[in-house]
């Protein structure tokens, strides 16, 4: 191999390795941001808009904080709702199951109203998140728009995550994989 060919080959090899390394590094560097006051961490694809509300209900004041962001073809909404601790204790497991069902039914009704279509479920299951927190996950389609959601109850904190649109996009999938509760 002549000197020029070798130099050209080495330069192209260096560029190819640089591009490969950079793309692998960029893909693996999805960083989760901790929200310690809310008790979770997640890798939002873009900086989320944060909105705080206090809701007066028959059972007391509920503190609600929502984190939302949009991707190219999806929307993520994460809501943390803090119920009065004594209420959750009083409700027990049956009451918490009722709240989980209420969250699911309320989300479905909202999607049906917004999308003006009937919800067709593809997933509906209760499970234990981290093998200790009651949770529900559900998914379906309304007017050709996909939705995936899960709700986790940790003590008197309810975390509700809803993805709409292309729920299988890489950024949406990374977000779901990165979501973790922060244990104290």
The whole-number pLDDT of residue 30 equals 58
H-helix or E-strand containing 66?
A: strand 60-70
Contact 52, 35 (CB under 8 A): no
Q: What is the DSSP letter of 144?
A: T
Distant-in-sequence, close-in-space partners of 178: CB < 8 Å, separation ≥ 6? 30, 32, 41, 42, 43
Enumerate the β-bridge partners of residue 41: 34, 180
The ranges of the chain with pLDDT < 70 are: 1-30
Q: What order do you get walking across the sheet with 74-82 strand by strand?
A: 49-57, 60-70, 74-82, 157-165, 145-154, 133-142, 119-129
The whole-number pLDDT of residue 76 equals 96
């Amino acid at each position: 191999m002549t000197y020029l060919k070798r130099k050209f080959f080495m330069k192209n090899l260096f560029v190819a390795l640089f591009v490969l390394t950079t793309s692998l590094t960029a893909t693996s560097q999805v960083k989760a941001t901790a929200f310690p006051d809310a008790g979770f961490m997640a890798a939002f694809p873009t900086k989320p808009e944060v909105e705080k509300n206090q809701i007066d209900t028959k059972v007391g004041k509920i503190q609600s904080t929502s984190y939302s962001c949009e991707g190219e073809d999806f929307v993520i909404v994460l809501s943390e709702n803090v119920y009065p601790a004594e209420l959750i204790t009083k409700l027990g497991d049956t009451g918490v199951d009722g709240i989980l069902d209420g969250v699911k039914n309320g989300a479905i009704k909202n999607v049906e109203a917004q999308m003006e279509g009937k919800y067709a479920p593809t997933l509906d299951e209760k499970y234990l998140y981290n093998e200790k927190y009651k949770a529900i996950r559900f998914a379906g389609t309304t007017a050709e728009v996909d939705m995936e959601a899960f709700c986790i109850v940790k003590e008197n904190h309810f975390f509700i995550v809803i993805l709409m649109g292309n729920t299988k996009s890489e950024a949406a999938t990374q977000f779901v994989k990165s979501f973790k509760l922060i244990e104290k």
